[in-house]
Chains A and B, each alone.
Chain A
Amino acid sequence: MFDREKAMWDLRNQLATSDALSGDDLLELEGHLLDELDALALRGLSEEEAFLIAARRLGEPSAIAREYAKGHPIRTWRAPLFWSSAGAVLVLAGMALINSAMILTFSLGSRFNMNFALMNVLVWAEAFAAPAAFLAIAALYVRARPASVPPARIWVPIVVAAALVIVGEPWVNPLLLAQTHIAKHVWVTLNTTCRFSAGASLVLYASVAAWIMVRLRAPATQAVVE
């Protein structure tokens, strides 16, 4: 049994995907579709037939969205920028947390004359956890493929968030810097006394990056109207 409401909703979602259409724009197109459905129903078409014809006359959702986007180039950047800042804030917050724990350990350690084993653990945790967390968030984001981000801009948040994390890093930790700057990372791998750590994170980077590339290349599944 054909469900007109569901079909309308699906079409609306496809049009809303690119973010180029505002709520008013969607309402306007929906009104147009309803007018068309009424006219076709008067000619004796079934709901399903009428919807198929009306949707076809309205045009391919992606093509319509492209036309709208021409008039509103800024709208299509809103969602990627939101995801960029969300990702960067998460990673920076995590780094700040570990950093606070480090300071706390250091001050408590000095006062009670503890040994600094925990401190070392935290230094390493930070150096590995921050990039790992970043890659994990990036991977989750790519997997989720938020509908509001245009497919062509899916990479934007990853690059922008990475830049924000590197710029926003409030202090300089050589090991962490090495892991956030790929060029430096390669240099460290070749020169560091601790080749194991540099090599291990290089492998980590490479494999997650490869995985993300594969995900990005996979065609986005999209329901077809007709």
Chain B
Amino acid sequence: MHKTLSSDPIPKDLVAASATPLVLSILAKGESYGYAIIARVKELSDGKLEWTDGMLYPILHRLEEQGLIRATWRNAENGRRRRYYSLVAAGKKALATQRAQWDLVSAVLATSWEQAHV
């Protein structure tokens, strides 16, 4: 029964809400670039979190404007120019805050479900 439920696509607003903390946490492991971030999300979610690739970049640019990440252009191994993103101190702090909030929401849901015997 749970199998059929989890095969439903995750609704758009949930995908959008989780995008920022997900990007920040991927960058917390080290600098990366758009294509690799999307590949990592696919890998982490077993392909269940579906992003429209082009939508990631405006998110990255917004995070850069907010001063949470830094972007630099460099040549990749294959010779292509690539914009690499890395987390800065403010980004680490934002990630910690967001993580605490998501943990709280998740804990509240878990307790509530436990009590309701779902």
Interface residues of A (CB under 8 A from B): 24-25, 27-29, 31-32, 34-36, 57-59, 63-64, 67-68, 70-71
Known A-B contacts A25-B57, A71-B61; the reply to A35 vs B52 at CB < 8 A is: no
B62 within 8 A of A: yes
- Nearest CB of chain B from residue A25's CB, rounded to whole Å: 7
In the complex, chain B residues whose CB is within 8 Å of the CB of A24 = 73, 83
Known A-B contacts A25-B57, A28-B83, A29-B57; the reply to A71 vs B52 at CB < 8 A is: no
- Can you list, as one digit per residue, whether each of B59-80 has a CB less than 8 Å from chain A (1) or not (0)? 0011001000000010000001
A31 touches B58 (CB 8 A): no
A67 touches B82 (CB 8 A): no
Known A-B contacts A35-B35, A36-B35; the reply to A27 vs B53 at CB < 8 A is: no
In the complex, chain B residues whose CB is within 8 Å of the CB of A34 = 80
Residue of chain A at shortest CB distance from B58? A67
A34 to B76, CA, bound (A): 13
Known A-B contacts A35-B35, A36-B35, A71-B62; the reply to A29 vs B54 at CB < 8 A is: yes
A31 to B82, CA, bound (A): 7
B116 within 8 A of A: no
* Among all A-B residue pairs, the 9 with the closest Cβ atoms: A64-B54, A59-B52, A59-B54, A67-B58, A35-B35, A58-B54, A58-B53, A57-B53, A32-B35
In the complex, chain B residues whose CB is within 8 Å of the CB of A28 = 34, 57, 82-83
A58 to B34, CA, bound (A): 11
Number of B residues whose C-beta is below 8 Å from A? Answer: 16
Counting chain B CB atoms within 10 Å of each CB, which of A24, A35, A36, A64 scores highest? A35
- Nearest CB of chain A from residue B11's CB, rounded to whole Å: 17
Checking B58, B80, B82 against A71 with a beta-carbon cut-off of 8 angstroms, the contacting residue is B58
Interface residues of B in 5-63 (CB under 8 A from A): 34-35, 52-55, 57-58, 61-62
A57 to B55, CA, bound (A): 10
B3 within 8 A of A: no
In the complex, chain B residues whose CB is within 8 Å of the CB of A71 = 58, 61-62, 65
In the complex, chain B residues whose CB is within 8 Å of the CB of A63 = 52, 54-55
Q: 24 A–B contact pairs at CB < 8 A?
A: A29-B57, A31-B35, A31-B82, A32-B35, A32-B57, A34-B80, A35-B35, A35-B80, A36-B53, A57-B52, A57-B53, A58-B52, A58-B54, A59-B54, A59-B55, A63-B52, A63-B55, A64-B52, A64-B55, A67-B55, A67-B58, A71-B61, A71-B62, A71-B65
A73 to B61, CA, bound (A): 14
In the complex, chain A residues whose CB is within 8 Å of the CB of B35 = 31-32, 35-36
